[in-house]
Chain A
Amino acid sequence: MTTEENIWKLLEEVPDPEIPVLSIIDLGVVRTVKVHDSGVLIEITSTYSGCPATDVFIADIKSKLAENNIEGVEVKMKFSPAWTTDWLTENGKKKLKEYGIAPPVNEPDKSILFAKPFVVPCPKCNSKSTKMLSQFGSTACKSLYQCNECSEPFDYFKCLK
């Protein structure tokens, strides 16, 4: 018998295609899992609206559940409420740092165009002396930084609120 709890567990095994150290549960994109008479409804949200990983999430969720003989799976996109980095789990943030990506820090008011710079600690040596190289990084969710202490360039998972 398929339970919702069971499905949540299986979804923990579906990795984010771009940051495979995170599961889609860590990322906080799975919003609802509902088991009903004729199948399963899963609602997910995208991180950034153009994120190409979204289509991969949907395919991977379906194949993961199919492997476990769960049928009648429908995956729907849900746009509201919009995803924020607050939905990243604590475990997810920890895994990001271990992977070498600085997890989001609480940034000052995003509605101000020229907000004061904020500190993003280096994920390698924890130094607080780092600089932003580019606001846009290898994927929509990241910026490029460099550590002034150990010189290591690193990705920063941008705060989105």
Chain B
Amino acid sequence: MNDALISYCLRIGDSTLVLGQRLAEWCSKGPMLEEDIALTNMSLDLFGQSRMLYSYVAELIGDGETEDTLAFQRNEREFFNFLISERPNGHFGETIVRSFFVDAFNFHFYTKLKESKNEVLSAFAEKSLKEVIYHLRHTSQWVIRLGDGTEESKEKVQGSIDSLWPYTEDMFDMSDGDRQLVEEGIAIDLDSIKADWKKTIDDVLAKAKLTLPENAYMHKGSRKGLHSEFLGHLLCEMQYIQRSYPNSEW
């Protein structure tokens, strides 16, 4: 059956959706106009990426499922987004660090996923990679600027690195279904991108004069649909209209 493929696509689509929703929370609250626009631009790209996968998943499931029902009518435990994507925005630097870790992951992940034997996934990766490069460039530049900035900005952004780092391992978690898809040439073995991802992080942090915490406890669970207390609140807000007025359209 397609269960493994559906779950794999949801893993990617949910992560981009939830991070997109977090970035959208900055709309009209950015620290300056240009950043307000940048954060919401990135959010829009991420929503678009989710839609590509959700419409594919809806096709695979059939039975009246749509991209909207997938986004707005599933509960927490049915979401497979990275734990890090649901972390609250915090201050601007915290939002940047969160995106930086994820963008660097997506950059290496999509680069590999372009070679997937599944045509939808490879087309998705080809398109999304072009966008992610802009995102990663933007968040990297901010990490450097804040890390190598004032005493206050350095302290704050170092604090965000320390508190978000323990959620990074979770991005690399794979299910048995994922491993099956790796065998079939559809999914990517995430162990194979880890070293490249780490190098991107290390290079930027060195420029930023920031450090990674040592021996941090690593949280996991999102691949199985186990989340932190924050996802439910996020879904509440995001799904409110569809829950109150099911199947309403713009």
Task: Identify the A interface with B (CB < 8 A).
Answer: 46, 48-52, 79-84, 110-111, 113-114, 133-138, 140, 144, 158, 160-161
Contact at A80–B126, with CB atoms within 8 Å? yes
Contact at B42–A136, with CB atoms within 8 Å? yes
Would you give the shortest CB distance from B168 to chain A, in whole angstroms? 19
CB < 8 Å A-B pair total: 78
A114 to B49, CA, bound (A): 24
Contact at A137–B37, with CB atoms within 8 Å? yes
Would you give the shortest CB distance from A161 to chain B, in whole angstroms? 7
A80 to B116, CA, bound (A): 13
Contact at B46–A50, with CB atoms within 8 Å? yes
Q: List residues of chain B with CB within 8 A of the CB of A50.
A: 43-49, 51
Contact at A49–B34, with CB atoms within 8 Å? no
Closest 4 CB pairs of A and B: A50-B48, A49-B48, A80-B123, A50-B44
A113 to B199, CA, bound (A): 13
Contact at B37–A82, with CB atoms within 8 Å? no
Task: Identify the B interface with A (CB < 8 A).
Answer: 34-35, 37-38, 41-49, 51-52, 119-120, 122-124, 126-128, 130-131, 133-134, 136-138, 140, 200
Main secondary structure of the interface of B (DSSP, over half): helix
Contact at B136–A161, with CB atoms within 8 Å? no
Would you give the shortest CB distance from A103 to chain B, in whole angstroms? 18
Main secondary structure of the interface of A (DSSP, over half): loop
Contact at A79–B52, with CB atoms within 8 Å? yes
Of the residues B47, B134, B200, contact of A135 by C-beta under 8 Å:
B134
A40 to B31, CA, bound (A): 48
Would you give the shortest CB distance from B55 to chain A, in whole angstroms? 8
Contact at A82–B44, with CB atoms within 8 Å? no
Q: List residues of chain A with CB within 8 A of the CB of B126.
A: 80-82
Given contacts A46-B48, A113-B140, A140-B41, 19 further A-B contacts (CB under 8 A): A48-B44, A48-B45, A49-B48, A49-B128, A50-B45, A51-B44, A79-B123, A79-B124, A79-B127, A80-B122, A81-B123, A82-B123, A82-B127, A110-B130, A113-B133, A113-B137, A114-B137, A137-B37, A138-B37
Please name the residue on chain B nearest to A142 by beta carbon: B41
Given A48-B131, A79-B124, A82-B130: A136 in contact with B48 (beta carbons within 8 A): no
Would you give the shortest CB distance from B230 to chain A, in whole angstroms? 23
Of the residues B35, B38, B52, B122, contact of A49 by C-beta under 8 Å:
B52
Q: List residues of chain A with CB within 8 A of the CB of B137.
A: 113-114, 135
Please name the residue on chain B nearest to A111 by beta carbon: B133
Q: List residues of chain B with CB within 8 A of the CB of A114.
A: 137, 140
Q: List residues of chain B with CB within 8 A of the CB of A83.
A: 127
Contact at A144–B34, with CB atoms within 8 Å? yes
Would you give the shortest CB distance from B136 to chain A, in whole angstroms? 6
